[in-house]
Amino acid sequence: MKRISLLLFALILSVSAFAQRTIQLRNLWIRPQVHVLFQGYSISFTIKDIDKALQLLAETGDTTYGTSCGLDTAGDYVVELFPGLKMEYHMPLQVLMQKAVGAFLISAGHAYIENPRRKIVRAVVSNIQPLSPGVDDAYIIFTDPNNDNMIFTGMMAADMYHKDLGID
């Protein structure tokens, strides 16, 4: 009985360890225009990367958000998000970032992140929650490897796991 429980415990740990991985963030070659504020962290994205992610999402068959965010590249957009997905959204950009492309862009390393002390975060740990039966989106939690603080939570379509944004 003891061996079976140890084996079961080892399997549970291996599944949870498999779902976590460290992601190195890349340098963004152009100035990011969309800034997401999440629990003191600032996660910044370029509109070019958001539009490319929307095009890749449309290729998977999800046309909910279209193929372009429609934002002007000359402007700066600040959005505040909160943990969990049961919040009341006040603008379409909040939904777009948390439920469509934010998690994908961070997973691809295409984000510029600053911690609450304005220090650059160079890597994040992603924890992908298991898919529920009949659900095509995975819930992902990103944490700071230096202090295990939550940086971002969001959804990502399962079909987007192996998509590539291409060369910067």
Beta strands (DSSP E) in 71-131 are 77-81, 112-114, 120-121, 123-128
- If you average pLDDT over residues 74-83, what whole number do you get? 91
Residue of higher predicted confidence among 11 and 165:
165
Compute how many other C-beta atoms are within 10 angstroms of the C-beta atom of residue 119: 10
Assess whether pLDDT exceeds 90 at residue 77.
yes
Please give the pLDDT value at position 80.
92
* Residue recorded with tokens 């460290």: 22
50 DSSP 8-state letter: H
The residue extents of the domains of the chain are 19-160
Least confident residue range of 125-129, 142-146, 163-167: 163-167
What does the chain come to in residues? 168
Alpha-carbon distance of 118 to 19, in angstroms, equals 29
Q: What is the pLDDT of residues 79-103, one digit of tens each?
A: 999 887 666 788 899 999 999 999 9
40, 116 contact by CB (below 8 A): yes
